[in-house]
Amino acid sequence: MTVTIKFSVRELVGDMRDGAYDVPEGTTISGLLGIAQKEAGMVLSEEVKNSFVFLVGSIPAQWETVLNDGDKVRVLYKILGG
């Protein structure tokens, strides 16, 4: 299946590319990020990973969210405040 990812946190993900990825059925957001990291030859720190929030389409998602063919994942930076 094919899913598309868009990083809005370019300064945190370095050479990880935006675009379409072919992934196995049942892949989660965590799995997708693992594939993108491996392709880019890098490993994100836990601190960086903890700063991400995700949207699948326009719906908030979690690391364990299972993706479907054609999904569009957006990776954003978590902004804290209040």
76: its two tokens: 């954003």
Domains in the chain: boundaries: 2-77
Q: Which residues pair with 59 in a beta bridge?
A: 56
pLDDT in tens, 12-70: 898 899 999 999 999 999 999 999 999 999 999 999 999 999 999 999 999 999 999 99
In this predicted structure, what is the pLDDT of residue 79? 73
In this predicted structure, what is the pLDDT of residue 10? 82
> What is the pTM for the complete model shown?
0.91
Task: Please tell me the CATH code under which domain 2-77 is placed.
Answer: 3.10.20.30
Query: What whole-number distance in Å separates Cα of residue 80 and Cα of residue 17?
Result: 26
The tally of CA atoms less than 13 A away on the side-chain side of residue 75 is 24
10: its two tokens: 């370019």
Q: Which residue has the tokens 């908030």?
A: 60
Query: What whole-number distance in Å separates Cα of residue 40 and Cα of residue 58?
Result: 26
Residue 75's pLDDT band (boundaries 50, 70, 90)? very high
